Amino acid sequence: MTLVLLVGTGGFLGSIARYLLSGWVQRLVQDSWFPYGTMTVNIAGCLVIGTIAGLAESRGILSPNSRAFLLVGVLGGFTTFSSFSYDTVSLFNGGRTFAALLNVAVQVLLGITATLLSYNLVHKIGGAQ
């Protein structure tokens, strides 16, 4: 139960950080044609998870509780893209190139397809204009 609370607390903080950073960046560029805020959050999350996971694995500096709080909770709440990126890097580093490429292709293609289909279905059923 401790790990669940740590992940939940971290997720709460990460979500707030994502909301604030993404909104700030989007307002800063004052341009709505591209989601700069989301892009910034995703890249920042990837840099942070790479740094923290790399240090944790090479130097053993994080306890399981700290790892759950920071990597799963805070960064998971900040952006799941960082977790996706780390999983993919781990597959590449483990010599599983095909699995890494498959992970990217399947998650990106199926994720976008699922969003597109469900979005259009809701609009069709709901009679949205």
HEC readout, 80-91: HHHHHHHHHHHH
Same domain, 78 and 123: no
User: In which band, very low, low, confident or very high, does the pLDDT at 40 lie, cut at 50, 70 and 90?
Assistant: very high
Same domain, 26 and 87: yes
> 41-89 pLDDT, tens per residue?
999 999 999 899 888 888 888 999 999 999 999 999 999 898 899 899 9
Q: Domain containing 109: what range?
A: 97-129
**How confident is the model at residue 128, as a pLDDT?**
53
What pTM was computed for the model? 0.77
Same domain, 76 and 101: no
Same domain, 8 and 33: yes
